[in-house]
Amino acid sequence: MARKQNKFDYDAQLAPYAARESESRGRRHTESSPNYRGEYQRDRDRVVHSAAFRRLEYKTQVFVNHEGDMFRTRLTHSLEVAQIGRSIARVLRLNEDLTEAIALAHDLGHTPFGHAGQDALNACMKDYGGFEHNLQSLRVVDELEERYAEFSGLNLSYETREGILKHCSANNAKKLGDVAERFLKKRQPTLEAQLANLADEVAYNNHDIDDGLRAGLLTIAQMCEVPLFADQYELVRQRYPDLAERRIIHEVVRRMINRQVTDLIDTTQATLSALGDDFDAEAIRAAKAPCVAFSEEMARQNQTLKQFLRRNLYEHYRVRRMTSKAARVLEALFEAFMSDPRLLPPETEAKLAAHEKISAKNGKARAVADYVAGMTDRYAFREYERLFTPGELT
């Protein structure tokens, strides 16, 4: 007897300008539709079950994982982005599953040690096409994950893959084909992709404040130089004069996120309302600028916050010491594997040989970069010890 299918209309409650599964450009490899979930939910599920997603638990956001159990990692950051993105998508009647899939996948290609690792690996790859974590995230879901019998990668839908690719040069866009064509045609991605991008900004700005204060790299006095923080801090102090400092910080950060999310929703709703009911997803793509945005005032305050965090947190001497050490570790690993690929695990060495057949110049370097980029912080340190520390052989 044929299996009874339970199909849902996932598009029924969406706004006219939301991404619809019925209008999806599909997958690179044809698959039958899922019976009890939507296509974008399938994308989300595949990301969550991927090895690359699990490894995010031990990849740096700002602080190396072993520096403390309470600091954000790439995994907790991705979950926070997904939560913020999905909450906003529901209010705007956008596709929640697509928003969440993009949010959870956006950092899959990040190296160990955060942006310091990316910069180091990009320098190593200077003569071999460079390295950019955004492109690597797409590479992970398109090629590097090995979970399915019929294809490499996760075979995600076009719209999820497009959302992962937030930035792309014209040269890279020409190589990537349809998923990057919007960069050549000066078109916008879906509203869901636009939303995931700003949810990422809200999450890392505000939660980096929390981690910076917890680590003692930032002080309350310093943070009160930032209007977005100072306004909420004063309100909390007035309302809860006897509250412990740790709880004050949590309350202030919570209110900062709420204020930014509310501004984003109100501004975006006003923009979309002005477009009219007949404005559909295709018209969103043809717009001259993103439709999901902060107000001008909130955008200015966010820029002030980002500049403050760069000066006082990301360039703090303790963070720079960590990033300097991380860069040396990744550079040493890359150079060692390039000089002698026999140092690589057998399965990675086999991939290197396959890459060299495709590109004699860049193939080996790309395979080594894939291996190094996929490491967690602690695995990278461990590999360094195995290669360069006397007595460490396994």
Tell me the two tokens of residue 157: 């839908």
Nearest residue to 98 (alpha-carbon basis) of 163, 22, 25: 163
Cβ atoms of 252 and 236 closer than 8 Å: yes
189 and 130 inside one domain: yes
CA atoms of 252 and 43, how far apart (whole Å): 34
314 and 329 inside one domain: no
Largest separation between any pair of C-alpha atoms in the chain:
70
Residue 40 lies in a domain: yes
CA quadruple 364, 366, 371, 376: dihedral sign:
positive
3-state secondary structure at position 27: strand
Quickly count: other Cβ atoms within 10 Å of residue 9's Cβ: 10
Angle made by CA atoms 59, 44, 51, in degrees to the nearest 5: 40
279 and 345 inside one domain: no
Instruction: Choose the final residue of a domain: 319, 343, 371.
Output: 319
Residue 7 lies in a domain: no
- Dihedral, CA atoms, 171, 172, 178, 181, nearest 10 degrees? -50
Which CATH number goes with the domain that contains 90?
1.10.3210.10
Confidence (pLDDT) at 393: 57
DSSP annotation string for 126-137:
GGGT---HHHHH
CA atoms of 34 and 47, how far apart (whole Å): 16
125 and 220 inside one domain: yes
CA atoms of 269 and 267, how far apart (whole Å): 6
Tell me the two tokens of residue 291: 């439709």
CA atoms of 30 and 72, how far apart (whole Å): 37
Nearest residue to 25 (alpha-carbon basis) of 10, 40, 6, 7: 40
CA quadruple 16, 28, 374, 376: dihedral sign:
positive
286 and 382 inside one domain: no
Alpha-carbon radius of gyration of the chain: 22
How many structural domains are present in the chain?
A: 2
311 and 173 inside one domain: yes
Q: How does DSSP classify residue 389?
A: S
Confidence (pLDDT) at 68: 46
* Full-model pTM: 0.92
287 and 369 inside one domain: no
Residue 6 lies in a domain: no
Instruction: Choose the final residue of a domain: 298, 319, 340.
Output: 319
Tell me the two tokens of residue 72: 């954000």
How far is the first Cα of the chain from the last one, in angstroms, to the nearest whole number? 54
Residue 311 lies in a domain: yes
Q: Domain of 169? A: 34-319
Q: How far is CA 46 from CA 43, 52, 74, 156, 308, in A?
A: 5, 11, 18, 8, 37
Residue 206 lies in a domain: yes
255 and 346 inside one domain: no
Residue 363 lies in a domain: yes
127 and 267 inside one domain: yes
Tell me the two tokens of residue 313: 């947190």
Burial bucket for residue 138 (CB in 10 Å: 0-12, 13-18, 19+):
buried
Confidence (pLDDT) at 352: 81
Who contacts 136 (Cβ-Cβ below 8 Å, separation ≥6)? 108, 109, 110, 111, 373
Cβ atoms of 192 and 99 closer than 8 Å: yes
CA quadruple 163, 165, 171, 173: dihedral sign:
negative
Question: Within 13 Å and on the Cβ side, how many CA atoms surround 223?
Answer: 27
Angle made by CA atoms 252, 255, 256, in degrees to the nearest 5: 85
350 and 285 inside one domain: no
pLDDT in tens, the chain (394 residues): 344 444 567 777 899 999 999 999 999 999 998 888 999 999 999 999 999 999 999 887 765 554 544 577 889 999 999 999 999 999 999 999 999 999 999 999 999 988 889 999 999 999 999 999 999 999 999 999 999 999 999 999 999 999 999 988 888 899 898 999 999 999 999 999 999 999 999 999 998 899 889 888 999 999 999 999 999 999 999 999 999 999 999 999 999 999 999 999 999 999 999 887 678 888 999 999 999 999 999 999 999 999 999 999 988 998 888 888 888 999 999 999 999 999 998 888 778 878 877 776 788 999 999 999 999 999 999 999 999 987 665 5
280 and 376 inside one domain: no
Residue 23 lies in a domain: no
